[in-house]
Structure 1
């Protein structure tokens, strides 16, 4: 299963900042499909902790976002239009900035992402 998730509403200098992420729930990896005003790597790993999804960079110890309430282990509870709070962690800041996540699409078919960065394990 893959999810297309939009991240937005972060308190940044660019009020229209957003990112569209493609989440692969089987491989527990993600890729950045589109973004503006939010600095994040092109791909990374996903983890679930206490019912929240942790969006990490290619180095698994680099936390970028926490998607509160988005539990990839409970697939039956995932639905298009679901939304929740997102915490954005940036280097050099002690406190995360608050935003929102929103599931735009759920695809139960096996398919290839538009940008296959993480499927090959290479960043090219």
Structure 2
């Protein structure tokens, strides 16, 4: 019984990983910097995390509010997403992909790996 559950869990993670890979393009920090000024830069972390420091020019649409606020993001322009580690931005990208957003990119490794310009309050 435990073996079946383990196989199901592994299968779930593999399928999710493939869906994410199809929905969003992971970018290194250098690639992210090259394109984010011409795109919509969205930080999906919670407001306190955002206020403690975020990429210069980013808009905060917390993942916890994403279903209510995703329409603030234009579907006709590239969307650059990031969070602390990459998990929430991947889920946000999957959500947007289901709603016909096509130009989706995320910062590989998340904000914790960011060494570029940061703004904090």
TM-score by length of 1: 0.30
Larger Rg: 2
Q: Which has the higher contact order (CA 8 A, sep 6+)?
A: 2
Higher helix share: 2
Higher strand share: 1
